[in-house]
Amino acid sequence: MPCNPEHQRAVLRITFTYVIVFSSPEIVNEDPFLNDILRKPRFRERLCCVAIDEAHLVVEWKHFRPEYSRIGWFRKFLPRHVPLFAASATLSPRVRDKVKISCSFRGNHRLLKTSIDRPEIFVGVHKMKHPMKSFLDLSGILPKEVATGGEIPKTIIFVDRIKDIQALRHMMLNWMRKLKYPPVCKKWVKPYFSSMAQADKDVIAADFGAPNQAKNNLVRPLCRILIASTAYGLGIDNPDVKQVILWGVPRSVEDALQRLGRAMRNGLSQAVGLIFVPKWCIGPRTAASKPQHSLSQAVSTHDSDKDFSDADSVLNADDAYTVDVDTGAKKRHTHQTRRDLLDHELYLLVNPGNDCIRERMLQAMGDDTYLYEAKPSPCCSVCQPDLFRPEINPDLIPVPIKRSNVHLFFIEAELRAWREKQIRSQPIRLFDEYPAAFMPDEVLKSLTLHWSQIKEVPGPESRAIIKKLCQCWAEGEQYEEAIYNFFWRELQTTWSTMKSYGQYDGRKWSVKPSTTVEKQSAASLEREEKRKKARSLSAPDSQLKVKEKAVSKKTTQVEKLGGKAPLTQPTLNEENRDRAKGEDKVKPVDRARTAGGRFTSGPTKQSASILALSSRKADLKRSKEPASITAMGSSVAKSSTTPRSPVVTPSTSSAEAPPLSPNRLRKSSRIGRGYKSTRDDEI
C-alpha cells in the first residue's frame, strides 16, 4: 500500500498543534515515506513519540509479514531524542524479551506492568466428546425453540482455518433448519476472516458491533453468532459479547487470552469464555519431553489464506505428521508424541488438573496480582465445575438409519458419489473435508430409504417427497431439482446397467468400516494359524503335506492328501491312532460286501436289526435274482472271511429266512439308513 501524496503534504504542512500519524510497518519502511517525510528536517524536529500498538504481533506475525521484524531498523532513522513506546495486553516474559530485540529498545528503557486479569469472564476448558469435524460439541449454544434472534446470546466462535469456518457455518444453518427456526435465521450466523472482501467485512463488523436492542419487533444486531478468525479482534471494540468460544487448541496462552478478551469489554456483566480441545491433548506426557514454544512449531500458511490468523495449525490437524526432507516420507505422530511437542505452558493450560485455570494463565503471562487479590466468583471450570457446563443438544445428534435391503447400499453409494460431484463443482472447494456440512448424512440416508417411493410416484408427488426429506438441509431448496433428475435419470440408468450385466456385488457396499473388516480378517487369519498348528502336531508326517502358496494375505495353505477339506481334517483321536499303527478298522458294510452279501455274527444281547448291504438301486437290481439271507450261526461265522463282525443278528434262531420281496428290500434299505424294524416276523 503506497503512501498517499495528499497525506504526505498534510503531514508536512503541520498547521495544527498535534498530528497523530497512523501507519503500518510496510508503509514506514518504504522509500517514499523514508525519503519524503522521515528525512525532512521540519518533520524530524516536531516528531515527539513513536508508539507501537499490539506489540506482541512483532514476534507472532513476523513469519508472513516480515516488515514487523524490521521495526528496529526503522528506528535507526529516527532522532535519538524521540522515545519509542510499545503496548500490549498479552506480553509474556518470553515474548517481551524478543520484542526488546526486534524493536531495538535501549538499555535504559522502563517497564510498566498492570494486571491483565478479567474477573468478569468465566474461563472453562473442556475436552471434545465427539469428533472435531462433526462440531456436535457446539450444538448446545442453539436453544431448542427460538422465535427471534434476540433469544440467542451474542457469541463469537474463533476457528483457525477458513474451511472450518465455512463448514461450521453451514452445519449451524442445517441445525437451525432441523430445529425449525424461522427462515430469517440465515442472517443470524455470519463468517469473518481476513481474505474476505473488505466491504463484506465492514458490513458484518458494523452489524455485529451494534449494541443489543429490540424495538418494533426488530432485534439488533441481526448477526447473533460470528464464526471468525483472529482477524476479527484487530482494532474492533465490541462491548457486549456474551460468550466467546475457542474451537481447537490455541497457538499459545497469549493467543487464548487475546481471543477470550473479546468478551464483554464494557465490564458491565458476566461473560463466558470456553476452550474446546481435542482428546489427544488430554493425558500425561513422557518424562523426557522438552518444553516447546508454540510460536515456533505449529504454523504453516495455507494457500488460500493471506493472514497468519487464518493459518493451518498442526495442533488441530486430524493427521499430524512430519515429512522427511530427503525422501518425502510422512511419519504420523501419535497422541503421545503430539502431547510431548506441545508448548509447556499450553499443556498446563489444557491439562489443569486440580489447579485454577485463571491462576495458570496469569502465571504464564508473568502477572502475580492473583497472589494479593481474592478470586472472582465465578472463576473457572476447575473452581466451579458445574457452572456453564456445555451441553449437547440431543435433537441434533445424527440418528443411525438401518438399511434392510442389500440394494440400498448401492443407492447410498451413488448418492455419496453425487454429493462429492456437487462439492467438486463448487467454485471454491470448501467442503472437501466436510461433506456432511454441505449435505447432511441424515438427508442422504433418508433419500436412500425412500428411493422406491420416489421412483414409483409421478413427478409432482416425487418432488414433494424430496422436499420433505430435505427439510433439515439449509441449501436443500437449491438442489431439489438436481436430486429429482438424479433419481429419475442417472440413478435409473446406472442401476439398470448394473443389474442387467450382473456387475453388482453386494459385498462391495458393506456397511462395516474398513477398520472392522481388517480386525475380523486378522482374527480369522490368527484362528487359521492355530488350526494349522494343531493339525500339524496331531497328524503323522505321511498324512500331511505342507505346501507354500503365495496368496494376497501372504499366508500359507496346507494341502490335505486324505481327500478331506482343510477345515474338516480330524484331530488326533483313537481311530487315527489305530490307523497310524496299521490296525485299520473296516466298516460293517464293507465287511459284509467282502463276505459275499451275508451277515455273520456271534452271540449278542442286542435285539434283531438289519443293515443295508447296498444302496436302494443296487437292492432293486439284486431283487430280480433269487436272493436269500441265511441264518447267521456259528458254522457260517467259521467259514466267513471276516472273523470279527459286530453286526447284530438274532442269536436264538438258526432257521433259514425266507427270500425278501422288493417291498421288503425297500424297507430294509430304509432300515439300513438308521431305522429299526418294528416287526420281527418280517425277517
pLDDT tens profile 63-100:
878 888 888 888 888 888 889 999 998 888 989 999 99
**What are phi and psi for residue 400, nearest 5 degrees?**
-65, 130
| Cα–Cα dist 193/309, whole Å | 8
Other CB atoms within a 10 A radius of the CB of residue 84 amount to 17
What residues does CATH 3.40.50.300 cover in the chain?
Answer: 121-283+348-371
Query: What length is written for the chain?
Result: 683
| Buried b or exposed e, range 40-68, using 16+ CB within 10 angstroms | eeebeeebeebebebbbbbbbbbbebebb
Local structure of 189: helix, strand or coil: strand
Q: How far apart are the C-alpha atoms of 302 and 431, rounded to whole Å?
A: 16
Classify domain 121-283+348-371 by CATH number.
3.40.50.300
Are 242 and 263 in contact by the 8 Å Cβ rule? The answer is yes
Residues in the chain predicted with pLDDT less than 50, given as ranges, are 1-2, 293-314, 501, 504-513, 544-572, 582-584, 597-615, 627-657, 660-683
**Residue 590: per-residue pLDDT:** 61
User: Please, are residues 343 and 297 in contact by the beta-carbon 8 Å criterion?
Assistant: yes
Buried b (16+ CB within 10 A) or exposed e, 240-249: bbbbbbbbbb
pTM score: 0.67
pLDDT of residue 399: 73
* Cα dihedral value 360, 362, 368, 372, nearest 10: -80
All cell numbers assigned to 458: 409421478
What SS3 class is residue 558? strand
- Between vectors from CA 119 to CA 118 and to CA 124, what angle results, nearest 5°? 85
What are all long-range contacts of 8-11, with beta carbons under 8 Å and residues at least 24 apart? 8/32, 8/36, 8/37, 11/37, 11/43
Question: What pLDDT was estimated at residue 670?
Answer: 45
Predicted pLDDT of residue 594: 55
Pairing of strands 271-277, 121-127: parallel
**Backbone region of residue 328 per phi and psi (left: phi > 0; alpha: psi in -120 to 50; beta: other values):** left
Q: How deeply is 172 buried, as exposed, middle or buried, from its count of CB atoms within 10 A (0-12, 13-18, 19+)?
A: buried
Q: What is the DSSP string of 417-439?
A: HHHHHHHHTSSS---SS-HHHHS
The pLDDT score that the predictor gives to residue 120 is 92
C-alpha span between 651 and 640 (Å, rounded): 17
pLDDT of 272 reads 95
Specify the pLDDT at position 159.
Answer: 95
